[in-house]
Structure 1
Amino acid sequence: MTLKRIATTDLQLGMYVQEFCGSWMDHPFFRAKFVVKTDKDLQRIRNSDVHEVWIDTDKGLDIHQDQPSVSVEEAEAEIDARLAAAEQAPPIERADLESEVSRAAMLCAKAKDAVVSMFSDARMGKAISVDDAQGLVQEISDSVLRHPNALISLARLKTADEYTYMHSVAVCALMIALARQLGLGEAQVREAGLAGLLHDIGKMAIPMDVLNKPGKLTDEEFQCVRKHPEEGARILLESHQVSALVLDVCLHHHEKVDGTGYPHRLAGDQISLLAKMGAVCDVYDAITSDRPYKRGWDPAESIRRMAEWSKDHFDELVFQAFVKSIGIYPTGSLVRLESGRLGVVMEQHEKSLTTPKVKVFYSARLKTAIPQEVVDLAKLAGRDRIVGRESPADWNFRNLDELWSGIPDPRRKTTG
């Protein structure tokens, strides 16, 4: 599936409409997925209250293709052939954690370079390439489909120096997973991913010495940082290539449901769904990541803290969906089992948030390492269970994330 968002004025006969950008009440069609075959249908779309649509160029014409000068019968035959080929294309298959971690690690490196380039263009006043960004979102979306925990968990393992760029990659992946958990359509999933990737682009208007300052910010510097949502919206508006939804997330991902956020102190339903999603995903990655001025918290501890803040900061239903998407004990969490063993969470169980797969490696009772073993708590029928979360710092575990990922933690290069 290759999706493009286009204006209805650019819609042509032979294009495959994947999804309308707007409410189902704004267009006259019972179904949203179809090939535009007649001038009548084309005119009905253009006369509706929908101004943009998502097209699938694998199933129909691309926006840059000329309309074929062939008969209606020949055109329909070509469309039918495209549809048949698309239906025969193999769906993205789920992968195990080990195989997807390897692919996700390469994608993280590629994504970081792409975001560095895109953000550097923004800092220099150049227009950003939204087409390139959408291609990157597609790759991240495919990775999250293959295994929802691999890339999301790897993106958390970033050095303080690369935080600004990898934070955007992480929030993109988290937004995609959350959008799917909320049951949004695939076009909206990609829109959420693009919003996550670009939500902090306004930080490129902040001086680098302020952005990466290791100590406490002065009041003046703090006010400068707080301007990044509005600066980001300005940058995106100048690109003329992003939707109002993406702009909204950029501008309002620091709003809080109690009205104490910024820049507009919006409250409750004044905040859009995607902006509420952006707020949750942004905070989670921020507090689990190492920053120039603090170490990141353990994933499970971060979820606990966010649950305490959720009444004032986050939409309750969005936060609940977020927890379901990554788990009560997200991948990389250190947990204690009833048996006295300590382990790191490897994977989530789709039907139970409290019974993930855990790699045990240490006896809390004997205070010694034990042979590593992956335990699927869902299959133990209560013979062992998680009784609490533990702090890696309390046990002086320095390579916890290497245990679940199987790859060197990039942060160890800088922390020694």
Structure 2
Amino acid sequence: MLKKISVKQLTVGMYLKEFCGSWMEHPFWRNSFVISDPKDIERILASSIQEVWIDSAQGLDVSPHEPAISEAETEAQVNAELDAAARAARDVAPVSMQKEMVRAAKICAQAKQAVTSMFKEARMGKAVDAGNARKLVEEISDSVTRNPGALISLARLKTADDYTYMHSVAVCALMIALGRQLRLDEALIRRLGIAGLLHDLGKAMMPLEVLNKPGKLTDEEFRIMKSHPEEGCKLLRESQGVDEITFDVVLHHHEKTDGSGYPKGLKDGEISLYAKMGAVCDVYDAITSNRPYKAGWDPAESLRKMAEWANGHFDPTVFQAFVKSLGIYPIGSLVRLGSGRLGIVVDQSPKSLLTPRIKVFFSTRSLARILPELIDLSAPGCTEKIASREDPANWNFPDLDELWSAHIGA
């Protein structure tokens, strides 16, 4: 029997089915588990969660002297109530980059913990419950709705050590933004977000010395790494709540339209729209992120390089939509203005892909740093224009990420 109870009624041995509240409000990445440690109850009591659903058929029941708040006969009834409450509580109104950065940072931190735990459990042979990723994907989706640049840009600022986990979060967010650009159904977009979050799950089965190698892989090591799509599918076959889209993206996100990808060597018409989306999102985050063996490329330069590969690697329509979802000059891109000043892109403009907001900080005429200044290229009367993208490697600025991420949108 499914029962809603107060968190004060929780005891060790109960099967916690669902939390009544936002995924961000409780300290666990899972929604369903048997409470085996009194410290877990302490953590719940210390959170803002007030009520939970338990399943008395899978764990201890409440005391007869402390009746449940309500009961439900089916899981569908519980999900319907939780979904209705979530819709009522959702905040998806557009906000500034500065405001969303604060929330996005918290989501990134929680998401990293969730994905790290997911990979750890997979390595231990435990089945991955994809249903537990649903609320995390909803939080990421809502952040992308409020301001698409914030979480996507923050997720790019990953360290080499947490690359594997934050890469999953970034691809999830990129898939959601791309799905919206392609005008897909919102329910389908959520499913694509879950697929993006789980696309690299097979890396949990890769030898850590290969996965984390701070240098170029040998042919044999690369052969091992190329098995991660199929290993991911094996893990998901033993899991609950996995749909066909997730299997498709997990297995085929390294396929290329010219047939040179893996594991099946599929060609253009043989690859689904969803796997094509996964391929673009996966490559973009990989090449813009710092890795143990190389620094990430500038976002705008990365899009330029991807455009050169597009005919053989990516579906042109999907790639064009991807560029529109990020902007021709994504946040974090280094650009030169017509005045000769260099600046970093800090936000996009809803008016045009060519007129983002820029924080200028360097004069190429005097070859000196200048007082940082925010310029909205879309503002009426603004005479500045982007003359070119710049390769950060040619300038050796040590603080580019800090320039766009600190006090952004101020």
TM-score range, shorter chain: 0.7 to 0.9
In structure 2, what is the Cα distance between the partners aligned to 1:63 and 1:147? 36
**Pairing 1:180-219 to 2, within 5 Å after superposition:** 180-219=180-219
1:140 aligns with 2:140: yes
1:295 aligns with 2:306: no
Identify unmatched segments of 5+ residues in structure 1: 1-60, 68-77, 409-416
Percent of paired sites with the same residue: 61
Measured at CA, do residues 360 and 127 of structure 1 come closer, stay the same or move farther in structure 2, by a change above 3 Å? same
Shift, 1:146, TM fit: 0.8
Say which is worse superposed, 160-169 or 369-378, in terms of deviation.
369-378
TM-score, normalization by structure 2:
0.78
Measured at CA, do residues 91 and 66 of structure 1 come closer, stay the same or move farther in structure 2, by a change above 3 Å? closer
Number of the residue aligned with 1:53: none
CA contact (8 A) 1:332 1:400 kept: yes
Shift, 1:229, TM fit: 0.3
Q: Deviations over 1:194-232 (max 9, x none)?
A: 010000000111100000111221211110000000000
Measured at CA, do residues 245 and 90 of structure 1 come closer, stay the same or move farther in structure 2, by a change above 3 Å? closer
In structure 2, what is the Cα distance between the partners aligned to 1:276 and 1:175? 11
In structure 1, what is the Cα distance between the partners aligned to 2:140 and 2:97? 15
**Pairing 1:348-363 to 2, within 5 Å after superposition:** 348-363=348-363
Say which is worse superposed, 345-354 or 225-234, in terms of deviation.
345-354
Number of the residue aligned with 1:64: 75
Q: Deviations over 1:251-298 (max 9, x none)?
A: 000000111111111111211111000000000000001111111101
Number of the residue aligned with 2:176: 176
Number of the residue aligned with 2:56: none
Number of the residue aligned with 1:92: 92
Q: Which amino acid aligns with 1:292?
A: P
TM-score, normalization by structure 1:
0.77
SS of structure 1 residue aligned to 2:101: helix
Number of the residue aligned with 1:48: none
Q: Deviations over 1:165-196 (max 9, x none)?
A: 00000000000000011001111111110010
How many residues are treated as equivalent by the alignment? Answer: 335
In structure 2, what is the Cα distance between the partners aligned to 1:204 and 1:109? 20
Q: Which amino acid aligns with 2:129?
A: S
Number of the residue aligned with 1:337: 337
Q: Which amino acid aligns with 1:245?
A: I
Q: Which amino acid aligns with 2:101?
A: V
Q: Which amino acid aligns with 2:139?
A: E
In structure 1, what is the Cα distance between the partners aligned to 2:169 and 2:200? 11
Shift, 1:237, TM fit: 1.2
Identify unmatched segments of 5+ residues in structure 2: 1-71
Shift, 1:320, TM fit: 0.2
Q: Which amino acid aligns with 1:261?
A: G
CA contact (8 A) 1:360 1:372 kept: yes
Number of the residue aligned with 2:9: none
Measured at CA, do residues 222 and 65 of structure 1 come closer, stay the same or move farther in structure 2, by a change above 3 Å? closer
Q: Deviations over 1:124-154 (max 9, x none)?
A: 1101122221111011001111100000000
**Pairing 1:202-241 to 2, within 5 Å after superposition:** 202-241=202-241
In structure 2, what is the Cα distance between the partners aligned to 1:239 and 1:87? 27
Shift, 1:95, TM fit: 1.1
Measured at CA, do residues 262 and 66 of structure 1 come closer, stay the same or move farther in structure 2, by a change above 3 Å? closer
Q: Deviations over 1:329-378 (max 9, x none)?
A: 10000100001111100111223111101111111111112221111111
Number of the residue aligned with 1:118: 118
Measured at CA, do residues 214 and 89 of structure 1 come closer, stay the same or move farther in structure 2, by a change above 3 Å? closer
SS of structure 1 residue aligned to 2:169: helix
Q: Which runs of 4+ in 1 moved over 4 A?
A: 85-91
**Pairing 1:14-413 to 2, within 5 Å after superposition:** 64=75, 92-380=92-380, 383-406=383-406
Say which is worse superposed, 390-399 or 165-174, in terms of deviation.
390-399
CA contact (8 A) 1:335 1:342 kept: yes
In structure 2, what is the Cα distance between the partners aligned to 1:134 and 1:402? 32
Measured at CA, do residues 87 and 209 of structure 1 come closer, stay the same or move farther in structure 2, by a change above 3 Å? closer
In structure 2, what is the Cα distance between the partners aligned to 1:292 and 1:279? 22
SS of structure 2 residue aligned to 1:107: helix
In structure 2, what is the Cα distance between the partners aligned to 1:142 and 1:308? 33
SS of structure 1 residue aligned to 2:384: coil
SS of structure 1 residue aligned to 2:263: coil
Give RMSD over aligned pairs: 2.2
